[in-house]
Structure 1
Amino acid sequence: MGKYHRRKRATLKKIIDGLIAEALTIALVLSFVAPVHAAPKVDFIDVSHHNAQGGLPLSFYQTIKVSGVNGVVVKVSDGTSYIDPAASVNVANAKASGMAVSAYHFARFTSVSEAKTEADWFDKQLKYVGFDKLKDGIVVVDVELPTASKATLTDATNAFTSEMHQLGYPTVDLYSGSGFYSSHLDADKLSISQPWLARYNGGKTEPVWRNGKGAWQWSSGYHFNGIGGSFDVSQDFAGKYASRYVAPNATAPKKVKKIGSVSLVNWLKQHKKAWSYSERSTLAKSYGITNYSGTAAQNIALLVKLKSGVKPAKNPKAVKKAVKKVKAHTYTVKRGNTLWGITRAHKTTITHVKMLNHLRSDLIRPGQKLKY
């Protein structure tokens, strides 16, 4: 009997061990096929003088183009009197790399009439910095300031859009924060569908789409390998920003345009043009490079413009208007706060708070006072 029971126990142990091994194998397989959170794509970026006061160099755009980032949205203007000092350089160098280049205007309008005035200002600045309405990408109105009631702001946004269409721009898009879009704009009455919305939560949750799924700005602090600085990055669901169909000037994905010689001074000498610093500065200003300091990024951008044969546009004069002051609130940062959490709680956007407080990154510290 003793031997029989020992044999029976040994057989039972083998069966149990086999079942355990099989269960572990199944668990291991499931661990590989189980769904995991994947980061959103980086289809395009948006840039302004906050990324580089004198504009980003051609090499930057070439590098990210090769990596698979096909589009860029350049800040050009703001209100009725401001031009982004890096706009002309960013537009030229991004185009020279083969990227699909779009442009945006930061809105401050409080009425339909002001919206039309801002659209006219945007149009003039687009010409000044060398943006081609038919060969480059699309134009965008950035609406994230609570300057008027929901109904008025919606009507003004539609008026801006209509004015841009009348000025000859085929596609106009809207950028805003997901929360602001829901609370300060009437999606059902907006003429723009599939908007570009911002929502920062580590790329885990998409914006609340109320009028079609457009593009998602999912990070304002993205770092490219080997490149300094942080960038706003977005995924393009609707194909508005990273497609060659909306930007004929762009090249195929990961394909960089050939640029040839990059010596501005040599080119000017060869073409028997004045090449001193003061002459280059004057020439640069005529092409929208308003803060020329002789950087490589600015020199290459100016060279690109000269080689293309494009003629300088007139420098638009600022439009004077009565400024309606928007009351700014202040929040004192507490331990554990994040910029994303603060902006969400106060129904504003990270972009707006960073602009008001001149922040170059999302880093904040306890005790810091933030306008919003």
Structure 2
Amino acid sequence: MHYFKQLILVLIISILSIAVLVHRVYATGVPSITAGQAGTPRTDFVDVSSWNGRLTTADFDNMKSHGVKGAIVKLTEGTYYINPNAQAQIASAQAAGLQIAVYHYAKYQTPVSAISEANYFTTFVKQYGLTNNTVLVDDLEDSATRQGDVTQNALAFRDRLAANGYQRYMLYTSPSYIAATKLNPNTFGLRNIWMASYPYQPTANNLWHTQYGAWQWNSKTSFPGVPGFFDVSIDYGSPFLRQSQSLSTATTATKPIDHIFIQQVNQLQGI
């Protein structure tokens, strides 16, 4: 019995050690960044969801002091969810003088379901009093959306937004999603693409994805005095931080991507 207990103890310790190791591998995958850290890319805007709680105007003022010019707030998901903190987050960011956009976490698999989700999204955009000059973002990353002709599905979503009166549009995605689904970024105008990929060592002198409108370069950035971590992005000329812009028709070829760490855990989704 004593030997058996020792064996069980050794197994438990081994399992815990493996769990700790796995956690450390994951934790070191995306580096923790402090806003204002020397040598890192600009933090032009943040995106927030319910995970970030009821952020105050003071919180956004703090971010603004570190160069943040705008906030993209999660509004809806599928046809079943609305961010319960969205209204407060939008109001606080606006009170801090930040530019505002909102995003929809896509679950659609066909043009028909894409149209339904676009209608659901714009219902709440209108309900929250956001003008038709607001940039609306299609967050296209969920595994459920990797069905059928993904480009045509996303076009159906975009075109319904336009039909509902919202011409300013961005598409959030990642290189891994594009590789897996054959999504064609050129179809949407490259300056309307917001690309997510996270270097192990992000630096201001080695910017990625400059052919697109914006690059989300880190998902674990902290702002001193503000609780939690934030996704941060640098803007290269997307519709978001420009006061007015029609849909781009740019067709710049996508640059090859080498030595990239893509975090597979969904950072934008918050329920």
TM-score w.r.t. the length of structure 1 is 0.53
Query: Residues 87, 188 of structure 1: CA spacing in aligned structure 2 closer, same or farther, 3 A cutoff?
Result: closer
Match of 1:20?
none
Q: In structure 2, what is the Cα distance between the partners aligned to 1:59 and 1:124?
A: 29
Q: In structure 1, what is the Cα distance between the partners aligned to 2:138 and 2:182?
A: 13
Q: In structure 2, what is the Cα distance between the partners aligned to 1:47 and 1:123?
A: 18
> Offset at 1:96?
1.7
Q: In structure 2, what is the Cα distance between the partners aligned to 1:240 and 1:162?
A: 16
Match of 2:171?
174
Match of 1:70?
69
Q: Return the match for 2:266 from 351, 360, 366.
A: 351
> Offset at 1:180?
1.0
Q: In structure 2, what is the Cα distance between the partners aligned to 1:178 and 1:225?
A: 31
> Offset at 1:57?
0.8
Give the secondary-structure state (helix, strand or coil) at the position aligned to 2:266: helix
> Offset at 1:128?
2.2
> Offset at 1:224?
1.2
Q: Return the match for 1:152 from 146, 149, 174.
A: 149
Q: In structure 2, what is the Cα distance between the partners aligned to 1:177 and 1:65?
A: 26
Match of 1:108?
107
Query: Residues 188, 196 of structure 1: CA spacing in aligned structure 2 closer, same or farther, 3 A cutoff?
Result: closer
Give the secondary-structure state (helix, strand or coil) at the position aligned to 2:95: helix
Note the alpha carbon deviations across 1:100-130, whole angstroms, 9 max, x for none.
0000000000100000000000000112233
User: Which amino acid is the alignment partner of residue 349 of structure 1?
Assistant: Q
Query: Residues 239, 186 of structure 1: CA spacing in aligned structure 2 closer, same or farther, 3 A cutoff?
Result: closer
Give the secondary-structure state (helix, strand or coil) at the position aligned to 1:73: strand
Q: In structure 1, what is the Cα distance between the partners aligned to 2:227 and 2:197?
A: 23
Match of 1:319?
none
User: Which amino acid is the alignment partner of residue 81 of structure 1?
Assistant: Y
Match of 2:229?
230
Q: Return the match for 1:191 from 188, 193, 210.
A: 188
Contact 1:70 1:243 in 2 (8 A): no
Note the alpha carbon deviations across 1:340-370, whole angstroms, 9 max, x for none.
96xx4xxx73326x859x9xxxxxxxxxxxx
Q: In structure 1, what is the Cα distance between the partners aligned to 2:230 and 2:145?
A: 30
Match of 2:80?
81
TM-score w.r.t. the length of structure 2 is 0.71
> Offset at 1:58?
1.3
> Offset at 1:98?
1.2
User: Which amino acid is the alignment partner of residue 69 of structure 2?
Assistant: N
Note the alpha carbon deviations across 1:143-195, whole angstroms, 9 max, x for none.
00233556511110010001101111121110012221233243266334221
Instruction: Look at both structures and tell me which one has the larger radius of gyration over its CA atoms.
Output: 1
Query: Residues 221, 188 of structure 1: CA spacing in aligned structure 2 closer, same or farther, 3 A cutoff?
Result: closer
Aligned length: 216
Contact 2:173 2:194 in 1 (8 A): yes
Contact 2:57 2:92 in 1 (8 A): yes
Match of 2:92?
93
Match of 2:39?
38
Query: Residues 190, 182 of structure 1: CA spacing in aligned structure 2 closer, same or farther, 3 A cutoff?
Result: farther
Q: Which has the higher strand share?
A: 2
> Offset at 1:91?
1.1
Give the secondary-structure state (helix, strand or coil) at the position aligned to 1:350: coil
Quote the RMSD (CA, aligned, Å). 2.6
Give the secondary-structure state (helix, strand or coil) at the position aligned to 1:40: coil
User: Which amino acid is the alignment partner of residue 139 of structure 2?
Assistant: D
Q: In structure 2, what is the Cα distance between the partners aligned to 1:38 and 1:243?
A: 25
User: Which amino acid is the alignment partner of residue 124 of structure 2?
Assistant: Q
Contact 2:109 2:147 in 1 (8 A): no
Query: Residues 149, 90 of structure 1: CA spacing in aligned structure 2 closer, same or farther, 3 A cutoff?
Result: closer
Note the alpha carbon deviations across 1:61-120, whole angstroms, 9 max, x for none.
122224321111000000001101111111111112211000000000010000000000
Percent of residue pairs bearing the same amino acid type: 28
Question: Structure 1: which 5+ runs fail to align?
Answer: 1-36, 247-339, 359-372
Equivalent runs, 1:1-372 vs 2, <5 Å: 38-52=39-53, 55-134=54-133, 137-147=134-144, 152-187=149-184, 190-194=187-191, 195-201=193-199, 202-204=201-203, 207=208, 212-245=211-244, 344=262, 349-351=264-266, 355=269
Give the secondary-structure state (helix, strand or coil) at the position aligned to 2:226: coil
Contact 1:72 1:241 in 2 (8 A): no
Match of 2:15?
none
